[in-house]
């Protein structure tokens, strides 16, 4: 079996754009007409540039190769242009291609990918979601604590046992910043309102975005410890692993990070620095499924757990499900609400979600198929990137 053709799809997400402005999907086709799908997460170039980059990589390193030779393909692309380092642009492309190769392998062997990476451990996967706004909201759920508490209650009624929110506010190109006292008091009150509302019915996940300096994150963590959050997510930027170690040793709240990291090499550094006990790799950026499995194995040796990140399309979501199902140190899976909306429409059969849990598919490969008709009807024609930093006043 040889890989013969690649197609790419840049799909504009529909309002209200939960999961980002667009999604970049990859389709690989073999000489036996077996199709595999993958997804590339948030490369910092316009998506139509990203598709050209992906096609270039395919022509240079992937065309006419055996999709079963995933480790060899991975090393060839990773080393291209004498790089051999954790560049998130190249790693996003590797991830999409690698994911599609695994989809082909699973289909050829008639097995879900999780059965090929150690076998199924979990029959259902605990999930969480951000607190999202509604069309008829009179206030901003990200700023109005009482509305956030109300939304959390709504999600609990649906079956969620964990919800996430960012009480710190916008993330900017000049972060990290030291929060003023007034802002920390406001954040503390926001978290208290949500905590007092849900009581012990639901874990709270503090989902910050690298806005703070280490010193400021330590000060805020001390204020939030009494609410016993499940984790404090990426409170400082992801580039300095030693600072994560300082932060983790300064608070009782577990530190989570990883959505902006790539490869086993960066995750090894965060583990060595004792900077996080919960790893949030995004499978559309980290290097794909096999790389994520290696990271999960490293995490086991540190008694750390994995909680795959999802703020993109459902193909990455499906890959997250595959790796979570076969990893003993799986903790919880990120989803966008109940895996419905356009995320469900863009695939031929939606991911199965029941009362707070995803039920892993038993279908071969990733377990999802891209609805190419819908994808072609929703081509992204905007100029903005998947995610953007907020502007400073």
Higher-pLDDT residue of 163, 389: 163
Strands of the chain (E only): list them: 3-12, 22-30, 35-40, 125-130, 162-165, 203-206, 231-233, 255-257, 278-279, 305-306, 333-334, 353-354, 357-358
Contact 62, 27 (CB under 8 A): no
Question: Exposure pattern of 109-139 as b/e (b: 16+ CB <10 Å)?
Answer: eebbbbbbbeeeebeebbbbbbbbeeeeeee
| Per-residue exposure over 297-321, b if at least 16 CB sit within 10 Å of its own CB, e if not | eebeebebbbbbbbbbbbbbbbbbb
Q: Is the model more confident about 34 or about 393?
A: 34
Q: 3-state class of 346 per DSSP? A: coil
CB under 8 Å to 293, separation ≥6 — which residues? 117, 118, 323, 326, 327
- Structural domains in the chain, sorted by start: 3-110 (3.30.390.10), 115-365 (3.20.20.120)
Give the span between the Cα atoms of 108 and 86, in whole angstroms: 31
- CA-to-CA dists, residue 150 to 67, 127, 136, 139, 147, angstroms: 48, 19, 14, 12, 5
Average pLDDT of the chain is 97
- Average pLDDT (8-28) is 97
When pLDDT is averaged across residues 281-287 and rounded to a whole number, the result is: 98
Residue 390's pLDDT is what?
85
Angle between helices 241-248 and 263-272 (to 10 degrees): 40
pLDDT digits (tens, 9 = 90+) for 207-239: 999 999 999 999 999 999 999 999 999 999 999
Q: pLDDT of 323-344, one tens digit each?
A: 999 999 999 999 999 999 999 9
* Total H helices, total E strands in the chain: 13, 13
Report the distance separating Cα 305 and Cα 286, nearest Å: 16
What are 181-213's pLDDT values in tens digits?
A: 999 999 999 999 999 999 889 999 999 999 999
Q: Tell me: pLDDT of 151 over 80.
A: yes
For residue 170, the model assigns a pLDDT of 93
DSSP letter assigned to residue 229: -
DSSP state of 268: H
Calculate the CA 237 to chain-centre distance: 16
**392 pLDDT higher than 80:** no
Residue 391 confidence (pLDDT) above 80: no
What digits encode the pLDDT tens for the residues 347-389?
999 999 999 999 999 999 999 999 999 999 999 999 999 999 8
Put residue 238 in one of left, alpha, beta given phi > 0 → left and psi -120 to 50 → alpha.
alpha
How much helix, strand and coil, in percent to the nearest 5, is found in the chain? 40, 15, 45
Burial of 227 (0-12, 13-18, 19+ CB in 10 A): middle
User: Do 309 and 292 touch, CB atoms closer than 8 A?
Assistant: no
Q: What is the pLDDT of residues 32-56, one digit of tens each?
A: 999 999 999 999 999 999 999 999 9
What span, in angstroms and rounded, lies between the C-alpha atoms of 331 and 16? 28
Q: Tell me the C-alpha distance between 184 and 212, whole Å.
A: 11
Confidence of residue 393 (pLDDT cuts 50, 70, 90): low
252's CB contacts (< 8 A; 6+ apart) are 225
Instruction: Tell me how far apart the alpha carbons of residues 22 and 11 are, in angstroms, rounded to a whole number.
Output: 5
């Amino acid at each position: 079996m040889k890989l013969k053709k690649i197609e790419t799809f840049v799909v504009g997400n529909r309002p209200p754009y939960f999961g980002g402005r667009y999604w970049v999907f990859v389709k690989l086709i073999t000489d036996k007409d077996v199709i595999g799908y993958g997804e590339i997460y948030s490369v910092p170039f316009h998506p139509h540039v990203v598709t050209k980059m992906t096609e270039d990589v395919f022509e240079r390193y992937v065309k006419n190769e055996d999709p079963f030779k995933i480790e060899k393909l991975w090393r060839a692309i990773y080393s291209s242009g004498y790089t051999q380092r954790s560049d998130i642009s190249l790693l996003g492309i590797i991830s999409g291609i690698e994911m599609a190769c695994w989809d082909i392998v699973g289909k050829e062997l008639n097995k879900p990918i999780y059965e090929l990476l150690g076998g199924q451990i979990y029959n259902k996967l605990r999930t969480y979601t951000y607190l999202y706004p509604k069309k008829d909201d009179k206030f901003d759920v990200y700023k109005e604590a009482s509305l956030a508490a109300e939304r959390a209650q709504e999600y609990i009624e649906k079956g969620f046992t964990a919800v996430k929110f960012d009480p710190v506010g916008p993330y900017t190109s000049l972060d990290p910043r030291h929060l003023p006292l007034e802002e920390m008091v406001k954040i503390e009150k926001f978290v208290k309102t949500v905590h007092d509302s849900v009581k012990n019915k639901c874990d709270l996940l503090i989902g910050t975005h690298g806005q703070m300096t280490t010193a400021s994150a330590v000060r805020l963590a001390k204020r939030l410890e009494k609410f016993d959050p499940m984790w404090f997510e990426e409170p400082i930027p992801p580039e300095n692993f030693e600072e994560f170690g300082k932060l983790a040793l300064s608070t009782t709240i577990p530190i989570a990070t990883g959505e902006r990291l790539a490869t086993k090499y960066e995750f090894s550094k965060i583990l060595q620095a004792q900077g996080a006990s919960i790893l949030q790799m995004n499978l559309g950026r980290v290097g794909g499924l096999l790389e994520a499995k290696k990271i999960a194995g490293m995490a086991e040796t540190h008694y750390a757990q994995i909680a795959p990140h999802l703020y993109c399309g459902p193909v990455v979501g499906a890959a997250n499900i595959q790796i979570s199902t076969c990893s003993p140190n799986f903790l919880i899976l990120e989803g966008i609400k109940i895996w419905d909306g356009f995320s469900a429409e863009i695939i031929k059969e939606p991911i199965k979600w029941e009362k707070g849990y995803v039920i892993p598919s038993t279908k071969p490969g990733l377990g999802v198929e891209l609805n190419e008709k819908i994808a072609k009807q929703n081509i992204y024609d905007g100029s903005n990137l998947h995610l953007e930093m907020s502007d400073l006043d």
